[in-house]
Amino acid sequence: MADVKLDHVVKRFGQMETIHGVDLDIESGSFVVFVGPSGCGKSTLLRMIAGLEEVTEGDVYIDGACVTEAKASARGIGMVFQSYALYPHMSVRENMSFGLEVAGEPKEVIEKRVAEAAEILKLGDLLDRKPRQLSGGQRQRVAIGRTIVRQPKVFLFDEPLSNLDAELRVQMRIEITRLHERLGNTMIYVTHDQVEAMTMADKIVVLREGRVEQVGTPLSLYHAPQNRFVAGFIGSPKMNFLPVTVKAASAGSVTLALIDGQEIALAADGAALRPGQKLELGIRPEHLIVGKGGDVEISLHCDVVEELGGTTYVYGDLSGHQVIVESDGETTIEKGKASLFSFKKERVHLFDENEQAIAVERRVAA
Amino acid sequence: MDMATPLPGRTHRKPGYLKRGDRLFAYVILAPAMAAFLVMVAWPFIDAMSMSFYSYTVYDPEPVFIGLDNFRTILTDPYVLGSWVTTAIFVAGTTLLTMFLGLSWALLMYQDFAGRGVFRTMTLLPWILPSTVSAFIWAWMLNGRYGIVNVLMMNVGAIDSPVQFLSNDVGAMVAIILTRTWISIPLFMSFFLAGLQGMDFQQIEAARIDGAGNLRIVKRLILPHLKPVFLVTGALGMIGNLQQFDIIFALTGGGPVRATSVLSIEVYKQAFQNWSLGMASAIGVLWVFTLMPIVIFYLRSLFRED
């Protein structure tokens, strides 16, 4: 187990800066997920921790030691790749032994550690097979096994489940979570899938264009996103955003005009707001109620209804803005007609012109 | 189960078998290629094979059937037999050196560095030059009086006085091996580079994390990955080098004396210097049988399904 610290880490490829001074503290034994859209720099950041990518500026610390200039093999890390990166001409056993052989470990130690890892990952019957004779899930388990035998201080996972089908992805997700509970090592996991991030992480790091947007527990990111990007990225389907105009504002309350003309008063920090200012109101699809029952009622013209059995998604229109509603499978909404929906004020998020969140008083635990 | 019902698959034709109409069409579109093959390849080969059983020189107004005499002569003539040894040295030396340098160059060109594209393009230069031009360039560089090789070797103190490379046995053999290698490197490098680019780079990164150094990565990962490329380039290289004529003829003409007289040169000399077409054909036939195992190995590797 070891903690990981990034101290103002910058990465430039030629003239192009892709990571802009990232500071991050990862506690020993935690499961941290880097999440963000394609090209946000999450894999580059992981590869810099691994030592596979040079750090242009700043420092990387593992277990208190500065490893910025250290070789990948000297950092005490193990890495699982998206492509599995198994050695195709070697058997599962040889794949798992390779790192220990290179380290000059005695044969008995190698055999013992491979056997232990094989037992943890249920690979006992597959040790003499070649990677091409394994399924995608089995290959990924071998890739994890190859990392386990080296007993690294920190495990790094670079989108390890992206090549698997949906069912296997869920299964492997659970297996990796169990593995973390069993081994207790620090694990850093990169994914673009926010469901993976929400279900696996102790702490999520949301990245956009080489910058950290927010760091926090999955539920804190869900309930209290610090900006519009995080609010839109965490949660599926993504949060609805509606333009609103400030009518009146004070330190403890804000009155807003919705695009359908109605005014709503929120218990929010309006000290810095002025009348006429354009804001965005965010409301998650699962926080919209079919019919009455909320504090604010809106009428949506519903054009698409997706019934998935347990859940129903309704796609409606509010004065030219699409609004998605997530409801239970019992909901019956007629397509092509206007229907009434509502929401509670405490579920609302507010964002200013700079996409930063404005604090709204809520009775929901964050 | 109804016994009259055909078992699944029984009614299907074997793969590769065509319907009657399709078969006729297949023969029609195959005919031009078959005709070209028969006229350009099969007939000359059969003619040469039959000629190998005849004595046909400037002294013979007509070919005289002599059975296996040509082959007996070849197998008892130390000079002609020596051509096989010379050929073996040339083929082994050239093929091994080209594979080693082609792979080394491919490994260099696989690295990420500024100007890689320019270097890769420049590497193809020896390949696009006519081989006789390359041969004359090397003859000039190896020249005993004004060749740059002599100048460089004298400057670094490797030799005290200029060496007539092409006038001694070893020097001439080294010269033809070097020239042929220089010309072949681009093709071999392309094969190896294509093989390297087909490799998952994350395997190398995984090995780096496992602590493997460059040599171990080459030995344990890259060479096993390139095994099929080695088989194909090895076979192709041997076939090409066994057939080599123009460079050797332009550079040494098979000399000094017979030091670089490989099979192709020997056939040429028998046919167009000694005017012994029967003997030239007999050497040619044995030459084909020398090539045959390598060709069969190459074709088997090429069409093997896995």
| Tens-place pLDDT, residues A283-333 | 999 999 999 888 899 999 999 999 999 999 999 999 899 999 999 988 788
What confidence category does residue B16 fall into, taking pLDDT thresholds of 50, 70 and 90?
Answer: low
The answer to whether A98 contacts B203, with C-beta atoms less than 8 Å apart, is: no
The answer to whether A150 contacts B224, with C-beta atoms less than 8 Å apart, is: no
For all residues of chain A together, what is the average pLDDT? 91
Phi, psi at A355, each rounded to 5°: 70, 15
Which member of A85, A87, A99 has the closest CB to residue B205?
A85
Which member of A73, A81, A146 has the closest CB to residue B211?
A73
pLDDT, residue A361, reads: 81
Which member of A72, A85, A102 has the closest CB to residue B200?
A85
- Give the position of tokens 């996991």: A189
What confidence category does residue A366 fall into, taking pLDDT thresholds of 50, 70 and 90?
Answer: very low
The answer to whether B203 contacts A85, with C-beta atoms less than 8 Å apart, is: yes
The answer to whether B209 contacts A88, with C-beta atoms less than 8 Å apart, is: no
Interface A-B: count of C-beta contacts within 8 A:
56
Which member of A81, A83, A99 has the closest CB to residue B210?
A99
CA distance A298 to A321: 12
Looking at CA atoms only, how far is residue B216 from chain A in angstroms?
A: 9
The answer to whether A85 contacts B202, with C-beta atoms less than 8 Å apart, is: yes
Q: Which residues of B touch A (CB under 8 A)?
A: 200, 202-203, 205-212, 216, 220-221, 224-225, 227
Is some CB atom of chain B closer than 8 A to the CB atom of A71? yes
Which one-letter amino acid corresponds to residue B213? Answer: G
Is some CB atom of chain B closer than 8 A to the CB atom of A188? no
**What are A3's two structure tokens?**
């903690």
CA distance B102 to B85: 25
ipTM confidence: 0.84
Tens digits of residue pLDDT in A230-278: 999 999 899 999 999 999 988 888 999 999 889 999 988 888 889 999 9
pLDDT at A365 over 70: no
Where do the domains of chain B lie, and which CATH numbers do they carry?
20-65 (no CATH), 77-303 (1.10.3720.10)
- Give the position of tokens 């200012």: A277
Q: Which range is most confident: A17-31, A164-178, A326-340, B117-131?
A: A17-31
The answer to whether residues A349 and A282 touch, using CB atoms and an 8 Å cutoff, is: yes
- Give the position of tokens 């979570």: A177
- Which helix H or strand E contains A171, and what residues bound it? helix A166-183
Nearest-Cα residue of chain B relative to residue A76: B209
DSSP state of A29: T
Phi, psi at A358, each rounded to 5°: -105, 130
The answer to whether residues A121 and A145 touch, using CB atoms and an 8 Å cutoff, is: yes
Is some CB atom of chain B closer than 8 A to the CB atom of A332? no
The answer to whether residues B80 and B283 touch, using CB atoms and an 8 Å cutoff, is: yes
Which member of B202, B212, B216 has the closest CB to residue A81?
B202
Where do the domains of chain A lie, and which CATH numbers do they carry?
4-232 (3.40.50.300), 238-245+280-352 (2.40.50.140)
* Percent of chain A topping pLDDT 90: 69
pLDDT at B6 over 50: no
The answer to whether B212 contacts A89, with C-beta atoms less than 8 Å apart, is: no
DSSP string, chain B: --TTSPPTTTTSPPTT---HHHHHHHHHHHHHHHHHHIIIIIHHHHHHHHHTTEE--TT-SS-EE-TTHHHHHHHH-HHHHHHHHHHHHHHHHHHHHHHHHHHHHHHHHHS--TTHHHHHHHHTHHHHS-HHHHHHHHHHHT-TTT-HHHHHHHHTTS-SS---GGGSHHHHHHHHHHHHHHHHHHHHHHHHHHHHHTS-HHHHHHHHHTT--HHHHIIIIIHHHTHHHHHHHHHHHHHHHHT--HHHHHHTTT-STTTT--HHHHHHHHHHTS--HHHHHHHHHHHHHHHHHHHHHHHHHHH---
CA distance B237 to A300: 74
* Percent of chain B topping pLDDT 70: 93
Secondary structure (3-state) at A217: coil
pLDDT, residue B218, reads: 93
Looking at CA atoms only, how far is residue B55 from chain A in angstroms?
A: 55
Tens digits of residue pLDDT in B179-228: 999 999 999 999 999 999 999 999 999 999 999 999 999 999 999 999 98
